[in-house]
Every structure is written in structure tokens, then in C-alpha cells.
Chain A
């Protein structure tokens, strides 16, 4: 054990001892304190994670690796499998092109097999549809849906929603066949809010123009973050020459870099995570939206969403009011709502030039984005009119 750790333990024990001493002297107040603390803190008693990879096909290996990496992280930080809903649109581990069968790696070094021995994929392959995703969130599943495919959250649940795939302005593509719009997502969250299905939500999305996906969310207590702003692509981090495709996306890579360093006892906050966002490294402008979120970000622990750290209460018999431990610090009044958008500094151009790894651009757009929507309609109507006119002329000639 390192001396630093020992010191930390000693400090912790001193804190606890003093807390307990107080609780002995004034139990009633402490009981109140437990709940008050809970109220002003995160106020959650359980954690859930919804991890969605929406892309099919072998060349989208990295999206599956992204999702599985997040799965491993939240599981390591204590969210049980029963509280993780994972949607994977394809099974690259068993793809015939995978030269390391039954494995998924998120790094060229192949240090860690993400697929491992203990992975529970709840929705797989063609089950990953927009409809199923919205049903899952809103709870409108059919009667015969098994428990593992239900999001059984309540008013004290903190939910981490992670999505990755190919997207565009206000939409995310599912399976190359359909797409979910930012409006659908906003509506789904609103319905969850109406039915008190969450306490707080962290919405994280890694896709092109990701930040547009959270613009239509309007329900309270939702914190959102995305990998790139409007008209901007998100890029992959690096590829593995043996696997032959990119293995992880930049945004997810750097988020994981932070998360890998924390454990269940960590006191790292959301602000710490957001401060590490570096547009130069990401090659895109990540965004944070916290105007719907009530607590200041420097008092929101990462484990409030990525982990499963709860208040516990020691049980005492003989009718004594029980003493309890508190995990979350009590935050103060929420600060000014604001949307943080770290700006790209001048330096990033040079760093981008020196970047040697391959970038996979996953922009997905219909038509020319520079032309406005109305122009498209005008053009369309004009085309139709010409067509109609031609038809009419033809008929009149006949």
C-alpha cells in the first residue's frame, strides 16, 4: 500500500469518526440530515445505463467497441448488469472478417478483450430499432418483454444514456435503415419526465454533428454532452492493422481515458471530465448542455452517473434511530444556466497536421447542406411543375 493511500484512509477514518460522533449526540438531526442531504444532492438511490450502438456492418467495428468500452466502465464502477441496457446493432465479435474471433478490442495494443466472458447484450442485431429504443425509454414495451429488456427506473434513478453511430443534423441513423430525430429523443425524455421515470439523466453522444441531437431536449434535470457541433464530423481515434478497421472513436477514447482513472470512491466531478475536452485532440468541438440541469457541474460526481454509489444506512436494532453515512457532498444553489462550447484554439491546426493516424469521417447527410431547406422545396415544386407541364403538353399534342 502506498503511503499516499494510507494517508487518504486515515483522513477518511477521521472524517467518519467525527461524523459518527455527531450522529451519536444528535440522532434525530442526523436522520433529517441524511434525507436533506439526499434532497439537495443528487437524490438518487439507483443507477441505470442505456448504451446504444446504432450501426451495423464490419467497418463500424469502432462503434461497437465504443459501446462495449462504456459497458465495461459502468460495470466496473458498480452498475449491475440488471441495470444496464445494452443495444448493439451488430455482432462484430462473431463476424467472419474478425481474425480474432469472439473478441472485440478498443485498442491497437489489444490489451483488453471487451467482449470477455461476461457480457450481457440486451438488444442485438435487428432488435436495435428506433421504435424499440423509444419503447425502452418510455416504458411502453409489450407485455411479454422480459425484465432484462425493460428500463425499470423510478423517480430516484440516475440514468446514463450513451449513443454512438452515424448521425447528421438532428438525427442519428439506426441500422442504415431508419433514423431517430432530436425531436423524438426530446419527446421520449419528456415522457419519462411526465411519468417520473428518472431523477437525473446524463446524455452522451458520439457521432457527427452530435451536439445537434440534444438541442431539442426540453425536460428538466438532463445534462447532455456530444462530440461535435453542427456541420462538424467526429473522427475515429486509431485503427488496428490486423483487424483492418478503426477500433475506437476519438471522443469516446478521451472520455474513457478520464473514466479509467476513477474508481467507485472517486470524487471526480463532471466538470473535471468536461474540462479535459480538448478540441485539438478530438478534432471536433465537443459540447455540453447544462441549462436544464439544476446542480452545478463541479458538484456532480462522475459516479453519480457512471457508478452505482448510494447512500447506505447502518441498521440498528432496539428502536434507536440509525446512524448513516453520506456519500454525496451537498451542493449549493445551482449557478447560471449556460451552454459551454469549448472553442478550437489556433494550435489545433498544427496538431491536426502532425496527426498520423487514419481518420474515418462518419458524416452522413442527404443532399447539399449549404443549400437551405426552402430552396430545396422551391426546386422540387419547379421540377414538378415542369414535369407536369411536359405531361400536359404531351397529352394535348396527342
Chain B
């Protein structure tokens, strides 16, 4: 009886032991993630609508349906060599003609929907296109027939959207093939984040150059704010500034005796920042930060220019960009001619801000459309103060959305793989929830994309990215991951071996006894058997 009760307790304990030592693992939707990686649930679609307005001021209007079909066919040919699952449907609408023939006539009615653009087409002496800062383009075609119109529109379409579509293709393709291939322009631009911190720093070589303060706040308000405002659909920005004096360089610039100026070679520029002494890192936020640094050299080292040798040309802007980090400008001031040597005025900062804005555009991944080439001139209007145009912003919206979708899915895939690979890892319910939510956001983003709602698509993709990263970086996912079997033996053996040996031995002996008693029972019949049983019970 005692033996039975001991065994009973042991057996009763087993399920508890099993349950309490089990690693809790919530189920992750692995199949869904797998399907998403193949883009089975929804294909990333980047629709574009283009309203073609043919002028009605010319008598003979070519058949608009013919033009439409012609362009659609040509654009499809352009997209024929798709390498990935991303789709770029283009819709051409030719319903509305327009009565004017000059650019000024229509410019007050731009499209407010990202992805919907108006092309106004009229005949002229030669083929030329003007792309306004908002979603309007004016095309002048030298010969007023279907072929020329189709050719011009196709070429402009390819000029504006071709690169972007190739980049998105590459992004989605890289995700398809799981290759770590980097898309070229991602090297310079920072990774997407919902918010960035911009730090404007003034570093002054020493006190003898007289610089005390700078009117950076005014300059930021005047030049930077409009840009940041227009870019707030993509990301938000916080701005801070700082001034540091006695900021010395780690090396002495070389002297050009002919020009009486000091110079830095492009080779020495990577060492320009004195990392040991210049404090550039912000400890305030954990947002990714971008630095814009203005350096005023000390009088004994000025003027300080960037050029490759004593006789070569100086850099016009005297500034350079460090990929994913920020920009640096060297500001030379002539204390004799400047009205206020102690204060760097807003006027002085204007060219600097222009440089910084150019660098900011590069760092944010805005593509400069004006670099594209076509067989006829395409004039891109630029907004004042480097404010991104509607075309560029739409482009950025689409690209960042694609990037976010790919990144979120990559993160979720990594997480799923990681969980599968490490059976000891605890997966709590909220991680499962985050993963499921992230997938929902991916789906929402993908749907919004196909509905041409780019702003909403980006928001959803941003949510997906944030949730995927939260799930991946969840602090509860770190335990002592490696817990080898040897350790388990070491823990359980001192307890289980001493207990199990007597238990098993006792069982064996009881069984033996039982057998013996049965034999005895068979042999000696009833009287003896009773006594044996009593004896066994006593024990």
C-alpha cells in the first residue's frame, strides 16, 4: 500500500512537471507569411491614372481612342520584361479635351490625388514638354498626328516613371529571391523610419574667428520648414541645433601658397569629423538622426577649401555628403568685409541651407527627375527652396511603401524562421498578435495600393513595419537560448536517479513476491497463502 501511494504521487506529479517545464510557444501564422512571400494573397500594384487632354483649338483632332490604345500598347511593351510580381497598371483617360493652348490656362486646376496626372497636349513648332511642380504636364507636339502624340507621351511616361518602376521591381524581386542584393540608391538614402531627427551643428575652429552665434532658427523657418511640411506625408521630423567652439580638426589642412588658401583633398574628407571630440550624437531621442554640420575654420587655417590639389578647381559648394549620415559644409568668412563677424546671419546661411536641402533630398531618397534624358527636351519646373514636387513626392510614396512592405515581410519571415530554428524560444501571445496584426496591415496596405490610395497605403505599410519590428525585437524573446541536453541531465539526475532506483527495485521485488506467492498458493493451497498475504501487506 505504501509503495502504491508513493507511485501514485509520482505519477500524479508527472503531468504537472511536464506542464510547468514546457516552453510556451504561441502558434505563428507561418503559412500566411509563406503565402505573402509569394505575393499570393495580394500582388503589389502601383496604378497610375493619366488624363490626356487634347486641345480643341485645332480643327482636326486625331481620334482619341486611337491615341489611347496606341499609348497603352506601347507602355505595356515597356513593362513586358517584368522581373517581379509588382504590377504597374496605367489607365489613360481621353474624355476631356481642353480649349486652351497655353500652359497658363489650366494651371489652377491641378490634380490632388497622388497617382493621377493631367497631360495637356497641343501642337507646336517642335516637340517639347514642361512638367509643372504639381501633377500637370504640358506637351507640345511638332506634328499633330497620332504617331507623334503616342510617341511623345510614351517617352515622357517612361522618363518620369521608368526608373521608379525599375527600382520597385528590383525591390520586390530581391524579396522574391531572398537575395540580399542592395538596390543602388538605397546606399545613400537612409532607411525608412516614421520619424527622423535633424541636427544642425555649428562647429567653430577656435574663438579667434569671432563667431558667437548663428541665426539658424530663422534660416530653418525660412528654408527648411516648407520642405519638411511637404514631406510630412512620408515621415515626421524633429529639428535641433547646437554650437560648439574650439572644434579642432584631427589633421592640418595643406597650404596652397599660390592661392593663399588651405585645402582638403577629397581623400582626407572621410577623416574630417573629429569623432573623438565633436559630440554629434543626440541622446534625446532614439529616432534615426541626420546631421548637418557647418564648420567655420580658425583664422590660421582659413580660407579652407575642398580641392584635389594646389592647381585644381575648388568645390563650388565647399561641402560633401556622407551616405546615411548627413552633410558637411565648410563656411569661410572674411571678417574684414562682413558686417557682423560675431553673428552668422540668415542671409549668409541661405546658400548653406540650399546645400543642406539638396543633401537632405538625397538622404531621404528623393529622386531628381530632371536628370532623365529623352529625345526631346523635357523641362521640369522646380519649386522654390528645393521643396519636392508632387511628382517626386508621389514617387517617394510609392517607393517607400514598396520598401516597407518588403521589409515587413522580410522581418516576419525571419521571425518565423528563427522561432522554428530555436525550439527553446518562448513565444508569447502578444507576439503572435503583433505578427497577425502586421500581416493585416500588409494586406490593408496592398489593397490601398491597388486602389491608388498611396498615402493610406504608406500609413498602413508603416504600421506593418512597426508591428513586425516590435514582434521581432520583443524583449521577452531573449532567454538563455542554448540549453543543451547535458545540462538537463545534470539537473534532473541528482533528484530522479536516487528516487527511481528504490522505487523500481521495490516494484520488482513486489512483483517477484507476488509471483512467488501465486506459486505458493498453487502448491500449498489455502492455509499457507493467507499467511503469505498478511506478511506482504505488513511490509
Chain A interface (Cβ < 8 Å from any Cβ of B)? 9, 12-17, 19-20, 35, 38-39, 43, 45-46, 75-76, 78-83, 118, 130-131, 134-135, 138-143, 146-148, 150, 152, 154-156, 181, 183-184, 187, 190-191, 194-196, 264-265, 308-317, 319, 321-322, 324-325, 327, 373, 377, 380-381, 384-385, 387-389, 391-392, 395
Interface pair A184/B501, CB less than 8 Å apart? no
Q: Would you call B265 and A12 a contact (CB within 8 A)?
A: yes
Pair A312/B498 contact, Cβ less than 8 Å: no
Q: In the complex, how many angstroms separate the beta carbon of A30 from the nearest chain B beta carbon?
A: 12
A369 to chain B, nearest CB (A): 15
- A13-B308, A39-B182 as given contacts; A391 in contact with B355, CB under 8 Å: no
Residues of B within 8 A of A154 (CB): 191, 324
In the complex, are the beta carbons of B478 and A134 less than 8 A apart? yes
Please tell me if the beta carbons of A312 and B370 are within 8 angstroms of each other in the complex.
no
- What are the residues of chain B within 8 A of A389 when measuring CB–CB? 501, 505
Complex Cα–Cα for A221 and B83 (A): 28
Interface hits, B226-265 → A, CB 8 Å: 250, 254, 265
Known contacts being A195-B414, A312-B321, A384-B498, is A140 close to B474, with CB within 8 Å?
A: yes
Contact B270 A309 (CB under 8 A): yes
Residues of B with C-beta under 8 A to A82? 280-281
Q: Is B482 an interface residue (CB 8 A)?
A: yes
Q: Is B106 an interface residue (CB 8 A)?
A: no
Question: Does chain A have a CB within 8 A of B9?
Answer: no
Complex CA gap A330/B320 in Å reads: 22
Closest Cβ of chain B to A42, distance in Å, is 12
A-B contact count (CB 8 A): 209
Proximity string of chain B (283-294) to chain A, C-beta cutoff 8 Å, 1 when within and 0 when not: 101101000000
Tell me whether A325 and B493 are in contact (CB under 8 A): no
Q: Do A147 and B283 contact each other (CB < 8 Å), given the known contacts A75-B275, A80-B275, A385-B497?
A: yes
B97 CB-CB contact with A under 8 Å: no
User: In the complex, what residues of B have CB within 8 A of residue A310's CB?
Assistant: 270, 322-323, 325
Q: Nearest CB to that of B282 among chain A residues?
A: A147
| Contact among A38, A118, A312 with B270 in the assembled complex (CB-CB below 8 Å) | A312
Contact assessment for B312 and A45 in the assembled complex, using a CB-CB cutoff below 8 Å: no
Contact B371 A319 (CB under 8 A): yes
Known contacts A45-B324, A140-B478, A156-B324; is-contact A314 B266 (Cβ 8 Å): yes
Since A12-B265, A315-B358, A319-B371 are in contact, a sample of 20 more A-B pairs with Cβ atoms closer than 8 Å, ordered by chain A residue number, is A20-B308, A20-B312, A39-B182, A80-B278, A80-B281, A81-B275, A131-B478, A135-B478, A140-B474, A187-B422, A190-B421, A195-B472, A196-B410, A265-B268, A311-B323, A312-B321, A314-B266, A314-B319, A314-B320, A381-B493
- Inter-chain contacts of A45 with B (CB < 8 A): 187, 322-325
* CB-CB contacts below 8 Å: B157-194 with A: 180, 182, 184, 187-188, 191
Known: A80-B275, A194-B417, A310-B325. A315 touches B502 (CB 8 A): no
Q: Across the interface, which residues of A come within 8 angstroms of B312, CB to CB?
A: 17, 20
> What are 8 sample pairs from A and B whose C-beta atoms fall under 8 A apart?
A17-B308, A45-B323, A82-B281, A130-B480, A156-B323, A384-B493, A384-B494, A392-B502
For residue B308, which residue of chain A has the nearest CB? A16
Instruction: Check A315 against B489 for contact (C-beta < 8 Å).
Output: no
- With a CB–CB cut-off of 8 A, which chain B residues contact A321? 371
The docked-state distance in angstroms from the alpha carbon of A387 to that of B494 is 10
Q: Is the CB of B319 within 8 A of A315?
A: yes
- Count residues of chain B with CB under 8 A from any CB of chain A: 80
Q: Are A265 and B267 in contact, CB atoms less than 8 angstroms apart?
A: yes
Q: Is B269 an interface residue (CB 8 A)?
A: yes
Q: With an 8 A cutoff between CB atoms, is B500 at the interface? A: yes
> How far, in whole Å, are A46 and B322 apart by their CA atoms in the complex?
10
CB distance from A334 to the nearest CB of B (A): 15
Q: What residues of A have a CB within 8 angstroms of the CB of B322 in the complex?
A: 45, 310, 312-313
Which residues on the A side are within 8 Å of B275 (C-beta)? 75, 78-81, 308
Please give the distance in Å from A284's CB to the nearest CB on chain B: 26
A134 to B, closest residue via Cβ: B478
CB–CB A140/B418 < 8 A: no
**Chain A residues with CB under 8 A of B323:** 45, 156, 310-313
The 8 Å CB contact of B358, one of A79, A130, A317, is A317
CB proximity of B23 to chain A, nearest CB, Å? 15
CB distance from B367 to the nearest CB of A (A): 12
Instruction: Give every chain B residue within 8 A of A315 (Cβ-Cβ).
Output: 315, 317, 319-321, 327, 355, 358-359
In the complex, what residue of chain B is closest to A20 when comparing beta carbons? B308
| B288-345 with Cβ < 8 A to chain A | 288, 306, 308-310, 312, 315-317, 319-325, 327
Q: A79-B275, A184-B482, A389-B501 are in contact. Are A312 and B418 (CB under 8 A)?
A: no
Nearest B-chain residue to A77, judged by Cβ: B275
Q: Within the assembled complex, what's the spacing in Å between the Cα atoms of A387 and B502?
A: 10
CB A385 to nearest CB in B, in angstroms, measures 6
Q: Which 3 A-B pairs have the closest CB atoms?
A: A388-B501, A82-B281, A384-B497
What residues of A have a CB within 8 angstroms of the CB of B280 in the complex? Answer: 80, 82
CA of A138 to CA of B417, assembled, Å:
15
Select B477's contact among A43, A140, A143, beta carbons within 8 Å. Answer: A140
A12-B265, A78-B275 given; A17·B309 CB < 8 A: yes
> How far apart sit A13 and B500, CA to CA, in the bound complex (Å)?
82
- Report Cα–Cα, A156/B324, bound state, in Å: 9
Measured between C-beta atoms, what is the minimum distance from B362 to chain A in Å?
8
Contacting residue for A187 out of B319, B324, B474, B482, CB 8 A = B482
Question: What's the minimum C-beta distance from B246 to chain A, rounded to whole angstroms?
Answer: 14
In the complex with contacts A82-B280, A196-B180, A147-B187 CB distance below 8 A: no
C-alpha spacing A9/B503, complex, angstroms: 85
Given contacts A187-B422, A195-B414, contact A16 B480 (CB under 8 A): no
Chain B contacts of A155 at CB under 8 A? 180, 182, 191
Partner of A78, one of B273, B281, B410, B417: B273
The answer on a CB contact under 8 Å between A35 and B184 is yes
B368 contacts chain A at the CB level, 8 A cutoff: yes
A268 to B481, CA, bound (A): 38
State the CA gap A314–B321 with chains docked (Å).
6
Q: Are B498 and A317 in contact (CB under 8 A)?
A: no
- B68 near A: Cβ within 8 Å? no
Shortest distance between the CB of B397 and any CB in chain A (Å): 22
Residues of A within 8 A of B480 (CB): 130-131, 184
Bound Cα distance A308, B270 (Å): 8
What residues of chain B lie closer than 8 Å to A143, measured between beta carbons? 475
Cross-chain contact B473 with A140 (CB below 8 angstroms): yes
CB distance from B466 to the nearest CB of A (A): 13
Query: Considering the chains assembled together, what is the distance between the CA atoms of A391 and B500 in angstroms?
Result: 11
Contact B475 A141 (CB under 8 A): yes
Residue B276, interface by CB 8 Å: yes
Cα of A14 to Cα of B355 in the assembled complex, Å: 28
Q: Which residues of A contact B475 (CB under 8 A)?
A: 135, 140-143
CB of B500 within 8 A of CB of A388, answer yes
Query: In the assembled complex, how far is the CB of residue A129 from the closest CB belonging to chain B, in whole angstroms?
Result: 11
* A38 and B316 contacting across the interface, CB-CB below 8 Å: no
A319 to B172, CA, bound (A): 29
Contacts A75-B276, A81-B281; A388 near B502 (Cβ below 8 A): yes
- Closest residue of chain A to B287 (Cβ to Cβ) is A147
User: Which chain A residue lies CB-closest to B278?
Assistant: A80
What is the 8 Å Cβ interface bit string for chain B, positions 502-521, against chain A (1 contact, 0 not)? 10011000000000000000
Q: Are B320 and A312 in contact (CB under 8 A)?
A: yes
Instruction: Find chain B residues with CB under 8 A from A43 CB.
Output: 182, 187
Contact between A313 and B267, CB atoms less than 8 A apart: no
Cα A259 to Cα B234 in complex, Å, equals 44
For B315, list chain A residues within 8 Å (CB).
314-316
Residues of B within 8 A of A81 (CB): 275-276, 279, 281
**Contact, CB under 8 Å: A392 / B270:** no
Which chain B residue shows the least CB distance to A79?
B275
Contacts of B279 in A (CB 8 A): 81
B130 contacts the other chain (CB 8 A): no
C-alpha spacing A365/B184, complex, angstroms = 50
Which residue of A is nearest B486, CB measured?
A373
Residues of A within 8 A of B355 (CB): 315, 317
